[in-house]
Amino acid sequence: MKIVIESLTLEELKQVAANTFENLVKAVVDVDREIIAIDAELHSDLEALLLENGSEQKSLWGINLYPEISGDDFIEFDSMINMRPSQGNRSRGVDNVEICKKIIKVVEKRVKR
């Protein structure tokens, strides 16, 4: 598991994918600190790593990254950790458009494509 504080290249992301799920990388984005945790089998493991390193639960959102796909399908908003009725999110996706925009912004900042 790794916390991306600076940035990583698309090639590095492809290597992470090849070592785990072949075509995708599970990631958890901290929308407030603008960092990403990657390289685990479960979003919950990445969530725990970020929590241990100072992130707040309300700021963490699970996504999948598809390094071989460009455009809008590069990011998939789907994770069990996203189910938070207390925050108004009742699905595995990210229902709040503003949060989706923040996630995209962080991914664009941290993954150099």
Q: For residue range 13-70, what is the model confidence (pLDDT) as tens digits?
A: 999 999 999 999 999 999 999 999 999 999 999 999 999 999 999 999 999 999 999 9
Total tally of structural domains belonging to the chain: 1
**pTM for the predicted model, two decimal places:** 0.96
- Residue 48 lies in domain: 2-112
DSSP 17-70: HHHTTSS-EEEEEETTTTEEEE--S-HHHHHHHHHHTT--GGGEEEEEE-TT--
